[in-house]
Amino acid sequence: MSLTKVVRDIRARQKVKYNPPDRPTAVWTGKDLLDGKPIPTLTVIFQTSGCRWNSCSMCGYVYDSAARPPSHDELMKQFEYAVSRCKDEEFTVKIFTSGSFLDDGEIPAETRIEMLSRLGADGRVKKVIAETRPEYVTHERLSEAVSALGKRFEVAIGLETSNDMIRSDSINKGFSFSDFTSACEVAGQEGVSVKAYLLLKPVFLSEGAAVNDIISSINDTAPYAGTISVNLCNVQRGTLIEEMFERGDYRPPWLWSAVEVLEKGKRSNPDTVIISDPVGAGSARGPHNCGKCDKDVAEAIRVFSLTQDTGVFEKLDCECRELWRQVVELEDFTFGAPVIL
Ligand code: SF4
Ligand SMILES: [Zn+2]
């Protein structure tokens, strides 16, 4: 049975929750780095028909998608609602769709151009970052987007790992590293920067293999992406990861693993912005350590993401760090099955 079939079977058993079609799935404000300085960020997840690929082992975003494709007017209402949430004098905008902003099937070209033109005309907006799979990164779509926006545009691609075998056999992502690098070339030619998301610890990898995978992936990806964001895998509802987690066959990554990859990745690639938002840190379904040190380690990861200073990790310690070192060694003998949950 293929991984796609397994993932699709799990998805078929879930319910999609109802959201009014003129409201985005989510919108929130935070802080991100722009040219070395923290700047307010408005993040919006538009409610669209959802990701066309819809087959990744860790992804529960599909359950946020709309029951029917929203109209142009509904999408523009979602947009207006989102922009009205940010009161800062200047900010960047991060656009997610639980899929691909550049996929015409999710956001029709006309709607995309109108959104970008409005953001272009809004003097407070300094940069726009939009998430997409690499197959939608074409010269035509990017040049349309760049001329509508008239300011800095970045595509954010969920590469997950530079290792084609892990991306295929653990994540079922459906594209290769060379698809990613081709998209980066197109983006570069259109004056669009690239952010890459990497995924620490998909299923079927031991803690140590996951750490080594992301350290190599940062090194392989840095020549193509100005920013690398390391996502620490958390257990989302209705996913293959959740089924394995409930059987005791999967443990989210240790926060010490995140510290290790951020420290080593930054040291080897000082000119690349390397960030991580430890979503769900400290909970059983999110990245966690022993419970006592989770808050401090997660906070250090947040501070590092805004300062790029690996010195924030030097003061951290806890008795569980030695246990983590042993887990990194021992899990290779259990073929990735967790030795401690
Ligand atoms: S490509 Fe992205 S949105 Fe689509 S299933 Fe995979 S992780 Fe989810
Ligand atoms: Zn601890």
Question: Which pLDDT score, from 0 to 100, does residue 7 have?
Answer: 85
Q: How far is the CA of 323 from the centre of ligand 1 (A)?
A: 33
Is the shortest distance between the CB of 59 and ligand 1 below 6 Å?
Answer: yes
Question: Which pLDDT score, from 0 to 100, does residue 12 have?
Answer: 79
In a domain, 341, yes or no: no
In a domain, 110, yes or no: yes
Question: Which pLDDT score, from 0 to 100, does residue 291 have?
Answer: 96
Q: How far is the CA of 185 from the centre of ligand 1 (A)?
A: 22
pTM score, whole prediction:
0.95
Report which bound ligand comes closest to the CA of 290: 2
Question: Which pLDDT score, from 0 to 100, does residue 153 have?
Answer: 98
pLDDT in tens, 56-71: 999 988 788 888 899 9
Question: Which pLDDT score, from 0 to 100, does residue 258 have?
Answer: 98
Q: How far is the CA of 324 from the centre of ligand 2 (A)?
A: 9
Question: Which pLDDT score, from 0 to 100, does residue 113 have?
Answer: 98
In a domain, 213, yes or no: yes
Alpha-carbon distance of 28 to 41, in angstroms, equals 8
Regions of the chain with pLDDT less than 70:
334-337, 339-341
pLDDT in tens, 23-39: 999 999 999 989 989 99
Q: Which domain holds residue 254?
A: 3-334
Cα 43 to chain center, whole Å?
Answer: 12
Question: Which pLDDT score, from 0 to 100, does residue 207 have?
Answer: 95
In a domain, 339, yes or no: no
Question: Which pLDDT score, from 0 to 100, does residue 335 have?
Answer: 61
Domain count, the chain: 1
Q: Is 182 exposed, middle or buried (0-12, 13-18, 19+ CB in 10 A)?
A: middle
Question: Which pLDDT score, from 0 to 100, does residue 66 have?
Answer: 84
Ligand 1: residue whose CA is nearest its atom 5: 54
| Burial readout 276-296 (b: 16 or more C-beta within 10 A, e: otherwise) | bbbebbbeeebbbbbeebbee
In a domain, 210, yes or no: yes
Residue 152: CATH number of its domain: 3.20.20.70
